[in-house]
Chain A
């Protein structure tokens, strides 16, 4: 299945890491990268990716604000939050902002592929590290 992906993270080294992980999947294409929320909103609007991998903590505009704006301007585009925050509260906020999925960065090797597959098919994905939180 072909999936066009936009990667948004303020740290180039993390973007490179995500790209390296995604490169292994035939048909998945990283069409662009963005380093902050403003750039993310702009690129999502212009490039219309299928999935946006969106960091939360970024300078200028946070990932959650960008998430709301992308959902308004490009509703067909699904958003997968990729964050360090292993927190049910943050996950609720993210899903409430319009994200379709949530992955904790420490679990990317376990969850990222399944999460992208799910959100690209408009299904929810909630991945938390903490077992108690995952159940919630």
Chain B
């Protein structure tokens, strides 16, 4: 029986690259592709893949929030998170969301097949750089880790995280309501709860917060000189 894999990335060129990489393995098939986190959650529910590969920086619903929803829906769901950054916070959030694999996009060509194989054997996989970091933190008994670790995010519900991303992407309460199948009033309640919990008074604060916390990712032309997203 073939191992069925669902791939989610908002860039077709990356999806094509991942498909080419994974389809070359005998016994593996790409059962579906998704273009954002929401699409990935829907397709995973329909297609019931053995492994889901999720990009972190996707519009509408990012990969971390999508992981959370997928694992909540089915705790046996095996998710590999693909990311451009190995920051402590993203790693922690990915693990907290229930991801069983963590691969840097820059290393995907080298590590992704190994990661899928690991999950196939019910094991976890961390890209070597992440492994080193986790091990260093463990050996240091939280000494250096705790100093470099940013404060934990305020307790937000999964729904509030979804709403934050959509608001930070510039959507109105009405648009948020429409996308999440809520009434406008409920969307506005979520919005005011979020602003209260985070102590914010403007959407600008929310956008800055979302960028700092990898809820949304932006690429400025001035960053062109440094390597970043594989889609860059």
Contact = CB atoms under 8 A, between A and B. Distances in A.
B46 interface: no
A133 B10 CA distance: 21
A57 B20 contact: no
Given A9-B230, A57-B232, A106-B231, A19 B14 contact: no
A19 B14 CA distance: 11
B16 A83 contact: no
B227 A14 contact: no
- Chain A interface residue bracket vs B: 20 to 34
A43 interface: no
Contact of A83 (B12, B19, B110, B232): B232
Contacts of B18: 13, 17
Given A56-B224, A84-B219, A90-B221, A11 B230 contact: yes
Contacts of B219: 84-85
Q: Which of A59, A82, A84 has the most CB of B within 10 A?
A: A84
Interface string B9-23: 011111111111100
Given A10-B227, A84-B232, A106-B10, A17 B221 contact: no
A53 B105 CA distance: 20
A10 B106 contact: yes
A20 B16 contact: yes
B42 interface: no
A58 interface: yes
A41 interface: no
A74 interface: no
Contacts of A93: 221
Interface in B171-227: 219, 221, 223-227
A119 B210 CA distance: 39
Interface of B: 10-21, 105-106, 108-110, 112, 219, 221, 223-232
6 contacts: A14-B14, A17-B20, A21-B13, A57-B226, A82-B13, A105-B232
